[in-house]
Amino acid sequence: MVSAQQKSQVYLDVTKPIEDRVENALSQMTTKEKVELCYAQSKFSSKGVSRLGIPEVWSADGSHGVSDEKIWDEWGGAGWTNDSCTAFPALTCLAATFNPDLSLLYGKSIGEEARYRDKTVLLGPGVNIYRTPLNGRNFEYMGEDPYLASRMVVPYVQGVQSNGVAACVKHFALNNQEISRGEINVNLSDRALHEIYLPAFKAAVQEGKAWSIMGAYNQLRGEHCCHNDLLLNKILKNDWKFDGVVISDWGGVHNTDQAAKNGLDIEMGTYTNGLTTNGNFPYSKYYLANPFLKGIKEGKYDIALLNDKACRILRLIFRTTMSADRPFGRFVSPEHSEAARKIASEGIVLLKNDNQFFPIPAGKYKKIAVIGENASRSMVVGGGSTSLKVAYEVSPLQGLKDKYGDDHIIYTLGYASGPSLYGREEPSKLNADSLLAAAIEVAKNADIVLYVGGLNKNYFQDCESGDRKSLNLPFGQDKLIDALLKANKNTAVILLSGNAVAMPWVDKVPAIMQGWYLGSEAGNAMADVISGEVNPSGKLPFSFPKKLEDNAAYSFGKLSYPGDSINQYYKEDILVGYRWFDTKKIAPLFPFGYGLSYTTFVYSSPAVDRVEAKADGTVKVSFTLTNTGKSDGAETAQLYVSKPASAVTRAAKELKVFKKVFLKAGETQAVTLEVPVSSFAYYNETKSAWEVESGIYTLFLGASSRDVKGKVDVKIQ
């Protein structure tokens, strides 16, 4: 006989199935206790059930490192001395590795840090699609291609969650700009929604089995995404069978009725705008607090709505803090530094390298001028909610000094940008002309110049809550680069940014490297690649346009981007990123999937295992890849598909598979890429379903979206 007491303890029994524990805990809770699970009690926590020993839910930003402890009801740091984390590279860098194994390592490492810090939920990763190079938050995301983002997000989520910490995939969905982010109403076709903007979320949910997801600030078709019936009830919870928790973005909830009925589970940050304002409202006034409780008591809301939310939150707690399989985590360990360094060095993209400017072995030059503010500036601070308090950060300047010796490096700022402030800009007080003049002097007297510039984490740069104002480099850098080139033609440009920039000097500089925001190990990773100890293998996760007008979203005018502050229309539809450049035959400055190596690779012509296949079949594309140069290296082979004759508009190319292959100097490997024919489908708006058209498809094997090495046709029955 099971006693009443034993029965009431089922939820505590870690050997019992989670669903039994959930049901058991729920059966012992009052309505008020259930409602209390559904809204914040502090800036980054919500209640558990203290009477039953069910812990609170504690979350922390973000995707690149676990942020410091905050004051209970303020955005400011609480001043603890045990919470300085490892900063991992920004997600654009991770995407540029094209290496899902590194994404697993990333997720596992950052998840360990979150676990050590006792977090229930890590507020990341972000997978909003790169629609415009002006979006201030692109650095937090995984680029412009839904397939690449999908392949990279899944292992990240799995890695985080292997620590008994929930990943919170964000921002669901269509938060693709920061201008008017809190209210802009996004209008787009079902095809663009399903083919471009949702796949990475779907993969995170269905393959990654994400335990939570964060609603976006903006609206979709007239409803805010944090309580959007189509997104949350229909697509996420019904179609995708998501059994986790929908957490609002901080301040993204606006209405009790919709919050109650349209799929939101936990309301956070209401009456604030994310980081700057503090409303003087008690948490009990949140939309899902007293107003929701009142509505339930009055019979306005079905108790089933509340039970569903409470079950999801309990499930999250049993999966994390009340799980028997929860490891203990670790914080700022040497393994985390090693992981950060590896990811950073594999994500760096070599864009141009005339006359083998790079690599620069130690001892080759006596005097190396390092010029540019980004060589010495902290890149982990600023940018909004991803700003980090770190245990350490090796700057590019420090990394280069360590590699080449202090005596061989001369550093000068060149330009200055002012402090990283949130929500406002403040120019530097330093004199730009004097900085320029000093830089020219240094450049003249050096063997070579390594210019380290780009964007930074200031407002209107790569920073939350604002978009960039132009594609150009800020703070007078174009003028500075021109002047440096006149002073010393051996000037290479290294850009740190999470976004594409215009490069009016592109033809004049011998070498260009795209360095991203690289985290704690930035300088070491950069020096590894510059010195040749690591052979660069990063590829661009988004296209660099020659000019802003070439970007699809921008080219359709204000209603397309950034909207009229009320509405916006995604007029480019499915033709986002390289899909636009390729279909419209616009040459980008640097294409999606592009990146050089210190060695060279030769592809053989691709062969297919079948020339005809069924809609549920698989096509195998085989070829050999040879490293024909003198150093070991890695190449990411990419397979794109096109459907020349189609009932609907099709992109000229869509990425379907990629594989990063490591090859020793001189080595040849046979490579086979398997493509499921189901991935050729388009989203049929009339049927609201995916459909594989019959007919001829062309498969392009390439080293980038533009550098096609061979193609084969396949007929689908």
Footprint of ligand BGC (CB under 6 A): 61-62, 123, 170, 249-250, 274-275, 385
* Closest approach of ligand BGC to the CB of residue 275, in Å: 6
| Contact (CB, 8 A) for 380 and 519 | yes
Write out the H or E segment, with its range, that includes residue 523.
helix 522-531
* Closest approach of ligand BGC to the CB of residue 212, in Å: 11
What distance in Å separates the CA atoms of residue 8 and residue 18, rounded to the nearest whole number?
15
Cβ-based neighbours of 3, under 8 Å, separated by 6 or more: none
Query: 13 catalytic, yes or no?
Result: no
591, HSE (Cβ side, Cα atoms, 13 Å): 20
* Closest approach of ligand BGC to the CB of residue 122, in Å: 10
* Closest approach of ligand BGC to the CB of residue 134, in Å: 17
What distance in Å separates the CA atoms of residue 471 and residue 552, rounded to the nearest whole number?
14
- Tokens (6 digits) for 695: 């007919």
What distance in Å separates the CA atoms of residue 217 and residue 228, rounded to the nearest whole number?
11
Tokens 């993209």, residue located: 349
Closest C-alpha among 455, 711, 655, 676 to residue 541: 655
Cβ-based neighbours of 190, under 8 Å, separated by 6 or more: 683, 685, 688
Other beta carbons within 10 Å of 691? 14
Q: How far is CA 34 from the centre of its chain?
A: 33
Cα angle 42, 45, 50; round to 5? 100
* Closest approach of ligand BGC to the CB of residue 417, in Å: 23
Residue nearest to ligand BGC (CB): 274
Other beta carbons within 10 Å of 317? 26
Residue of 61, 83, 249, 582 marked catalytic: 249
DSSP per residue, 256-288? HHHHHHTT--BB-STTS-SSS------GGGSTT
| Contact (CB, 8 A) for 227 and 259 | yes
Cα angle 170, 176, 182; round to 5? 80
Which residues are annotated as catalytic?
249
